[in-house]
């Protein structure tokens, strides 16, 4: 298990203190006959007879496998030590991306599923935690010949041809844990508005706050504070503008941008 003190955060612009890296070696298995769900592989450690290095897809050399054949269903398994989760806090299991559809179990409990191989998702696993060692299992399905699935430049043939590349299956972006309070930020987006010397902020919370809460935004560049603004959020989403006086002087624009 690796902590944030020794590893770069998976999403450096949305980093939380105390996150735990789950990348590295996982148990791995092909499920070409699609029998894993029927046989409850999420409860059978012996089904995972191979190893893979996450977050590299099995088609890549860095995964330790370099297998480019058709394997529409694959499974992953690993253990981890859960961090301390306080009263009212939530433990999130975060995936940068799993191609294409994923189902996740923690300690034998299905904690959620996700469809879409190019976007991140997070699952609340707090209710599935047990004493001692934790087990996470992921089933990933990516039908290589299904033309309805967004594929980018991934080839639908076994070997790449023309402008197409090898396919990417399963977990191909970082996996990590993070502890969050009962109310937390899920999305934060900044849009520069140079003509009006400001930055537009869009913020989304995980739920509507029980009572209005304060949100403070600080904008800095190279360690120097540029602007600070505190807003009150009564709903789960808020859009507001932060004035950046330094943008009014064209001399500073290259530095700020």
Question: How far is residue 203's CA from residue 186's CA, in Å, rounded to a whole number?
Answer: 8
152, 180, 208: which is the final residue of a domain? 180
Does 134 lie in the same domain as 193? no
pLDDT at 207 over 70: yes
- DSSP SS3 for 211: coil
**∠ CA(153), CA(158), CA(159), 5° rounding?**
70
Whether residues 171 and 80 share a domain: the answer is yes
Nearest to 95 by CA among 150, 21, 41: 21
Supply 113's token pair.
């599923």
Among 108-112, 198-202, 230-234, 252-256, the least confident range: 252-256
Question: Given this model, what pLDDT does residue 100 score?
Answer: 95
Closest to 153 measured CA to CA, from 166, 164, 142, 169: 164
Q: What is the pLDDT of residues 67-83, one digit of tens each?
A: 999 999 999 999 999 99
Q: Does 151 score more than 90 pLDDT?
A: no
- Residues 59 and 123 grouped into a single domain: yes
Contact, 77 vs 53, CB < 8 A? no
Phi/psi of residue 60, each to 5°?
A: -95, 155
Considering the domain architecture, whether residues 161 and 194 belong to the same structural domain is answered as: no
β-bridge mates for residue 108, sequence order: none
pLDDT (0 to 100) of residue 58: 97
For 61, 142, 186, 238, the CA distances from 130, given in Å and listed in that order, are 35, 31, 26, 37
Structure-token match 């009962």, residue found: 182
Asked if 144 and 167 count as a contact pair (C-beta separation under 8 A), the reply is yes
Instruction: Kindly state whether residues 63 and 127 are assigned to the same domain.
Output: yes
- At 155, the pLDDT band (50, 70, 90 cuts) reads confident
Tell me how far CA of residue 253 lies from CA of 61, 167, 190, 222, in angstroms: 43, 42, 17, 14
Mean pLDDT, range 6-21, rounded to an integer: 84
On whether both 115 and 15 belong to a single domain, the answer is yes
Place of tokens 């300690």: 107
pLDDT in tens, 163-205: 998 889 999 999 999 999 999 999 999 999 988 999 999 999 9
Residues present in the chain in total: 257
Instruction: Give me the number of domains the chain comprises.
Output: 2
Q: Are residues 195 and 160 in the same domain?
A: no
Q: Residue 50 is part of a domain; what is its CATH number?
A: 2.60.120.260
* Residues whose CB falls within 8 Å of the CB of residue 40, separated by 6 or more in sequence, listed in order: none
Of the pLDDT bands very low, low, confident and very high (cuts 50, 70, 90), residue 1 is very low
Instruction: Residue 111: give the domain boundaries.
Output: 2-180
Please name which of 204, 224, 207, 223 lies closest in space to residue 215, comparing C-alpha atoms: 204
Same domain, 161 and 93: yes
- Are 42 and 143 contained in the same domain? yes
The last residue of one of the domains, among 156, 180, 204, is 180
Q: 150: exposed, middle or buried (C-beta count within 10 Å: 0-12, 13-18, 19+)?
A: exposed
Enclosing H/E stretch for 256: helix 253-256
CB 140 within 8 A of CB 76: yes
Q: List Cβ neighbours of 102 (8 Å cut-off, separation of 6 or more).
A: 95, 113, 114, 115, 121, 138, 139, 140, 141
Among 180, 204, 227, the domain-final residue is: 180
pLDDT of residue 5: 39
Better pLDDT: 210 or 12:
210
* pLDDT digit string, tens, across residues 29-88: 999 999 999 999 999 999 999 999 999 999 999 999 999 999 999 999 999 999 999 999
Residues 152 and 223 both lie in one domain: no
What residues have CB less than 8 Å from 189, skipping those under 6 apart? 201, 202
Q: What confidence score (pLDDT) does residue 157 get?
A: 83
**pLDDT bucket at 152, cuts 50 / 70 / 90:** confident
């Amino acid at each position: 298990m690796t902590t944030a003190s020794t590893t770069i955060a998976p999403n450096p612009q949305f980093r939380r203190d105390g996150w735990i890296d789950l990348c590295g070696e996982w148990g791995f298995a092909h499920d070409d006959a699609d029998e894993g769900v029927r046989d409850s592989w999420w409860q059978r450690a012996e089904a995972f007879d191979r190893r893979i290095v996450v977050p590299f897809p099995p088609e890549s050399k860095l995964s330790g496998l370099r297998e480019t054949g058709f394997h529409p269903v694959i499974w992953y398994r690993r253990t981890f030590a859960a961090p301390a989760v306080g009263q009212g806090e939530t433990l999130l299991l975060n995936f940068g991306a799993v191609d294409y559809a994923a189902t996740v179990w923690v300690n034998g409990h299905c904690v959620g599923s996700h469809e879409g191989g190019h976007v991140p998702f997070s699952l609340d696993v707090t209710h599935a935690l047990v004493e001692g060692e934790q087990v996470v299992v992921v089933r990933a399905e990516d039908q290589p010949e299904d033309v309805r699935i967004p594929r980018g430049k991934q080839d639908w043939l076994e070997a790449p041809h023309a402008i197409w590349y090898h396919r990417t299956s399963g977990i191909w972006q970082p996996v990590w844990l993070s502890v969050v309070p009962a109310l937390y930020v899920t999305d934060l987006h900044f849009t520069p508005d140079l003509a009006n010397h400001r930055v537009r902020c869009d913020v989304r919370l995980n739920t509507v706050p029980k009572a209005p809460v304060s949100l403070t935004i600080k904008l800095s560049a190279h360690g120097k504070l540029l602007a600070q603004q505190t807003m009150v959020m009564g709903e789960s989403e808020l859009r507001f503008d932060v004035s950046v006086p330094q943008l009014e002087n064209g001399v500073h624009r290259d530095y700020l941008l």
